[in-house]
Structure 1
Amino acid sequence: MIALRGATTIENNSITDIKDASIELFSQILKKNNIKLQKIISIEISCTKDITKAYPGKFIREYFKLDKVAIMHFNEMEVEENLKGFIPLCIRFLLLVDEDIDKKEFVYLNNAKKLRIDLLNE
């Protein structure tokens, strides 16, 4: 089993932005890691507290027809020492997948690239 991470940001707290960004991020994670949908065990999604218009997992479940996949949402922690580097309107995914691949590729899009600058040089 492997765990795959990814994050993105949205421009506005709107249903359309949440839907489009979530589908884009999920698609990129699948594509870059060559993951088949039936191999996904569960998806954990966290959002910053300024995302309130919709659940990203709802759009992922509907768009990719993931009726049998466990999807859970959480609010992202706000740790005092990190508030200076806080990235607003951020959606993060953690996928647990029944695969064994040599090189995992995490996906960070838009302003979320700041979360993992170390991965930009790979």
Structure 2
Amino acid sequence: MIRAIRGATQVGANSRDEILSGVTELVTEVMGRNRLTTDDVISVIFTATPDLTAEFPALAARKLGFHDVPLICASEIDVPGALPRVVRLMAHVDVERSRQDIQHVYLRGAVALRVDIAQ
């Protein structure tokens, strides 16, 4: 069964270290809360707000062992008043769980984006 898992985090600054640290934390939480291995992951789409340009978010996943998982990065649309410095992800996974059992992960300031499903 294919499921999509959403997640987001807000990083402190447009720096390589902040982006890699924030995305590492986000991916680690998504994997842990959903009891996943990289073999369960079909692909991951990362987006970053236009103010984050210092590093590709997917690099953090590669450093975590996502070597043969298709990853892609894209820019979020620049909506006036949107929360700044946010990296989002949508992971497509192959698991035998209902939608209700999927844990979406919103960290740091990004909790404000989806208070209805943030854990």
SS at match of 1:119: coil
SS at match of 2:22: helix
Superposed CA RMSD in Å reads 1.2
Say how many residue pairs are matched.
116
Q: Is the 8 A contact 2:50 2:78 kept in 1?
A: no
- Say whether residues 1:100 and 2:96 are aligned partners: yes
**Cα distance in structure 1, aligned partners of 2:96 and 2:14:** 36
**What's the CA shift for 1:73?**
0.6
* 1:7-26 C-alpha deviation (Å, 9 max, x unpaired): 00111111110011000000
**1:81-120 correspondence runs (5 A):** 83-84=80-81, 86-102=82-98, 103-120=101-118
CA–CA distance in structure 2, aligned partners of residues 27 and 94 of structure 1: 14
In the alignment, the residues of structure 2 paired with residue 78 and residue 17 of structure 1 have an alpha-carbon distance, to the nearest angstrom, of 21
Between the aligned partners of 1:118 and 1:58, the Cα distance in structure 2 is 29
Structure with higher helix content: 1
User: Structure 1: any 5+ residue segments left out of the alignment?
Assistant: none
- State the TM-score, normalizing by the size of structure 1: 0.90
* Structure 1 equivalent of residue 73 of structure 2: 73
Task: Name the SS for the 1:117 alignment partner.
Answer: coil
Secondary structure at 2:115's aligned position in 1? helix
Q: Output the CA distance in 1 between the equivalents of 2:55 and 2:106.
A: 21
Query: Which residue of the partner structure matches residue 27 of structure 1?
Result: 28
Q: CA deviation at 1:100?
A: 2.2
